[in-house]
Structure 1
């Protein structure tokens, strides 16, 4: 280029054009650098977010079992079992009602015996207090029932046609048996208190004594 063209207004225009091109190149370089920088940091931020998300602790399915094993969790309530007779029910002072687990009920007589010619079966009932102190028990005909059956047929019972309250409270000393004897007249009984009960037929009969949840052994006898 002619050096004369670098002088005057023509020269100024030339350098301004050069400067514009240079600035444009710098802008393009800056944009490309920014784009590369943004494109590179995007995945890093996503990765960072993924890392942060994956770093969040998840609930441990065995945590409850571990906590329970360490005794820090409240245990599940267990079904309560009602004992047959709790020690707290036992009399602590003489004269209180006897606890059933402290009583022994037994029956004697009528064991495979044969009663013929109109003879009457006889039985002996005993009740023994094995508790630590003297206690009281109702031995009346309703509370202590003596029952005679033949198969499924209820033949006779002390609880039938009872006059009055039918209650009879006795003091039972430790180890001293209460004894009651019974002689059956071989007649049936019923709850309607018939004046002329029927006579029991010949056959095999079973005697038991019941007192609350207590049961005596069975006495089997035969009528001829």
Structure 2
């Protein structure tokens, strides 16, 4: 079983300049220096989108937005998955605000053992 301290993570996005109203897809790549099995329920991963100190959206707000299952991770053989952010604010349990976000800088940060971030400049 993978321990959080064994894992490192990288996040990339479809584009550094998404447009308000589009869906941004993030690819999260999890790697380990040793063979292990990562159970997404036991060693939790969180992807959070912020703008400054404002928390906009998080996989913590809905279980179906993040990874599921158990995955074998080996050195030089990382495991990747996609997270889709609909460029809207999450407002609670699996719900989204219908209010449009403004143009500006947004940062996607993923945490699992280590952390990584992807900076975007959203256009209106």
Q: Does 1:223 align with 2:122?
A: yes
Instruction: Give ranges in structure 2 of 5+ residues lacking alignment.
Output: none
Give me the TM-score of the superposition, normalised by structure 2: 0.78
Could you say if the C-alpha distance between residues 129 and 143 of structure 1 is closer, same or farther in structure 2, counting changes exceeding 3 Å? Answer: same
Q: What is the number of equivalent residue pairs in this alignment? A: 120
Of the candidates 31, 50, 55, which is equivalent to residue 128 of structure 1? 31
Instruction: Give ranges in structure 1 of 5+ residues lacking alignment.
Output: 1-96
Deviations, residues 77-135 of structure 1 (Å, cap 9, x unaligned): xxxxxxxxxxxxxxxxxxxx123343221112267x2123643322211011211xx31
Aligned to 1:148: 49
Give me the TM-score of the superposition, normalised by structure 1: 0.46
The answer (yes or no) to whether the contact 1:123–1:181 under 8 Å persists in 2 is yes
Q: Distance in 2 between matches of 1:194 and 1:178?
A: 28
Aligned to 1:190: 91
Deviations, residues 44-72 of structure 1 (Å, cap 9, x unaligned): xxxxxxxxxxxxxxxxxxxxxxxxxxxxx
The answer (yes or no) to whether the contact 1:187–1:198 under 8 Å persists in 2 is yes
Higher relative contact order (CA 8 A, sep 6+): 2
Could you say if the C-alpha distance between residues 137 and 197 of structure 1 is closer, same or farther in structure 2, counting changes exceeding 3 Å? Answer: farther
1:198: how far off? 3.2
Q: Does 1:160 align with 2:61?
A: yes
Q: Does 1:209 align with 2:110?
A: yes
User: Greater Rg, structure 1 or structure 2?
Assistant: 1
The answer (yes or no) to whether the contact 1:138–1:144 under 8 Å persists in 2 is no
The answer (yes or no) to whether the contact 1:110–1:220 under 8 Å persists in 2 is no
Greater strand share, structure number: 2
Q: Distance in 2 between matches of 1:151 and 1:125?
A: 22
Greater helix share, structure number: 1
Q: Distance in 2 between matches of 1:161 and 1:179?
A: 19
The answer (yes or no) to whether the contact 1:136–1:171 under 8 Å persists in 2 is yes
